[in-house]
Amino acid sequence: MTEQSHAADPPILEVRDLQKFFPVGTMFARRNLRALHHVSFTLRRGKVLALVGESGSGKSTAARCVARLIEPSAGQILFKGKDMLAEERRGASLQYRGDVQMIFQDPFGSLNPVKSIAHHLARPLRIHKKSSGTKETAERVDQLLESVGLAPARQFSDKYPYELSGGQRQRVSFARALAVEPEVVLADEPISMLDVSIRMGILNLMERLKDEHGIAYLYITHDLASARYFADETIVMYAGQIVEGAASEELIQHPAHPYTQRLLDAVPDPKAEHGFKQGAGGWQPPILVDPPPGCPFADRCPHAMPVCREIMPGRTTLNAVHWVRCHLHGSGESSPGLSEPNLPLSA
């Protein structure tokens, strides 16, 4: 990853200071669950940004805000420089909903079990006016199926989701996303429910679609190994905050934040699909309801200092492709809350 590659590649989607609170408790004792806290990142055409963290860290909430499935409490979503939240208030959002597509973790849950595969692909083609007439739509459905490796298409188009394997269903999800010619794909744990043997096939499909269509990906995962394989950059989220960001290989080789180090050391817990092995000090979930000031990782961090419980560190630049938010590396050059690019060079 070079400075030139960033300079030549303007952002297609920028998320700035995104915040999301969910009210919890009773009407007499209303409290706020802080799911996202000043989250900022940038997506570029033909590039993959991985968003990594444990289950419950806020990754999916961030993607759902960007996909406009839930409403953020504050912040901006800029698509090609336009503030999409303001555009939506003016009623101009259908184009954005086509340009930014989401792939879900469970391909079976995202498909209607009583509709054929052809129906799932023809519907977005019609809604977004990407084809006209029965014959043209059927031809486009066949093209889409073959473009995701489901060939010959006629063997799949009349089937129902339950007649396909998990990997084939996820390929249908990608074909459905491609139907509207998206510029951004938000892929939320797209391989975690698939057999290990077919995960690489889906990642290779995503890579090919990225190269052929110039798609910008947000790749959400708890698996740093697949982020290293697939993503140009990786950002790490803990308790709704981005705590570290780097070129993917740099992050794996030189993790700076204790939470990232713990993710890398973690052994998958066979009893919990998305969890990590419980450390010697026991697993402490982060406090998200009216969280105290300071670093949210302090209760789990072996290096926690008194200052960590008082002040959330700002962002410290470690080198041209790596930054971190941790008092071990300084108190930071900027306060959390300022809009920040993924990498220093992305500015």
**Site residues (vs ligand SF4, CB under 6 A):** 257-258, 295, 297-298, 301, 303-305, 308, 313, 326-328
In residues, how long is the chain?
A: 347
Minimum CB separation from ligand SF4 for residue 303, in Å? 4
Of 168 and 234, which has the nearer Cβ to ligand SF4? Answer: 234
| CA distances for 328 relative to 164, 242, 252, 320, angstroms | 50, 16, 18, 19
Minimum CB separation from ligand SF4 for residue 298, in Å? 4
Of 50 and 308, which has the nearer Cβ to ligand SF4? Answer: 308
The phi and psi torsions of 220 (rounded to 5 degrees) equal -95, 125
Q: Measuring CA to CA, which residue among 24, 40, 119 is closest to residue 335? A: 40
Of 229 and 276, which has the nearer Cβ to ligand SF4? Answer: 276
- Residue 128, helix vs strand vs coil: coil
| CA distances for 27 relative to 23, 32, 73, 266, 341, angstroms | 10, 12, 19, 40, 38
The phi and psi torsions of 326 (rounded to 5 degrees) equal -160, 135
Q: Quick check: 326 and 313 in contact, CB under 8 A?
A: yes
Of 25 and 337, which has the nearer Cβ to ligand SF4? Answer: 337
* CB neighbour class for 215 (10 Å; exposed up to 12, middle 13-18, buried from 19): buried
- Residue 247, helix vs strand vs coil: strand
Of 266 and 328, which has the nearer Cβ to ligand SF4? Answer: 328
Of 176 and 257, which has the nearer Cβ to ligand SF4? Answer: 257
Minimum CB separation from ligand SF4 for residue 295, in Å? 3
Minimum CB separation from ligand SF4 for residue 260, in Å? 9
- Residue 166, helix vs strand vs coil: helix
Minimum CB separation from ligand SF4 for residue 281, in Å? 13
Q: Please, which residues bridge with residue 52 across strands? A: 221, 236
Minimum CB separation from ligand SF4 for residue 55, in Å? 20
Of 85 and 328, which has the nearer Cβ to ligand SF4? Answer: 328
Minimum CB separation from ligand SF4 for residue 141, in Å? 50
Q: Measuring CA to CA, which residue among 148, 146, 160, 219 is closest to residue 185? A: 219
